Amino acid sequence: MEEKSSDVDWTILKKPLNIFGVCFAIISILISGSYYFNSKLNKEYKSNKSIFQSISRRYLDVDQEEKLLRDYYPKFISLYDKGIIGREKRLNWLEALRQAGEKIKIPSLNYSISSQEEHIPEYNINYSGYTLYRSSMELNLGLLHEGDLFKLINYINKTADGIYTISECKFRMKGNKIKFEKNADNISVSCSLNWITIDLANGEGIKIG
């Protein structure tokens, strides 16, 4: 005699299946939500990190600029005040020469100075927006003896603003006999000087204050 297979009572499993479906849906939502929020947080983290790095770089740049200003600005001001950077101080040069002549008691002192022009050295230098200028000066001196020339140069070095180079000096004895009088000019000297300054290449001139 054949046995009848028993019918499954699905009503018993209905509730657990419903609960499982609800749980599965909740888990799916949580997984999707966590992925979304994780992705969003990751983007925000990268964005904030980029902003932080940008701010850090700017801060470091500002800090470096402040350090450079602290280190070099006083030196720049000093060079500016001395007439090495910026506008040349030719009136100061001429006054220094006049005072030197009186102090050393040079018998004869004459000078001429040319207009300022660009100075091109023999070697290449990158001046980064600046230009080297020079003003040529011719000195014609009548000296009691050659030592007075060194006294004159030493006095100019101490009192005149700016820097200069001496390109040449020519000496010539005046007469056949040496005179020992106080104002006698036994030696005639001609010297060529170049007064050097640095200024902006565009011609505007450096202005401070």
Tally DSSP H helices, then E strands, for the chain.
Answer: 3, 5
93 neighbors 160 (Cβ within 8 angstroms): yes
Structural domain including 117 reads 90-200
100 & 168 share domain: yes
Whether the per-residue pLDDT at 199 is higher than 70: the answer is: yes
- Identify whether residues 77 and 104 lie together within a single domain: no
pLDDT band at 10 (very low <50, low <70, confident <90, very high): low
Report the alpha-carbon distance of residue 140 to residue 158 in Å, rounded.
21
Residues 133 and 179 in one domain: yes
DSSP 203: S
Distance CA 179, CA 40 (A): 99
Asked if residue 57 has pLDDT above 70, the reply is no
pTM: 0.63
User: What is the overall mean pLDDT for the chain?
Assistant: 77
**180 in a domain, yes or no?**
yes
The phi, psi pair for 180, rounded to 5°, reads -110, 5
pLDDT band at 75 (very low <50, low <70, confident <90, very high): confident
The closest of 193, 196, 195, 133 to 167, measured between CA atoms, is 193
Say how many domains are in the chain: 2
The one-letter amino acid code at 160 reads A
Under 8 Å between Cβ of 155 and 104: yes
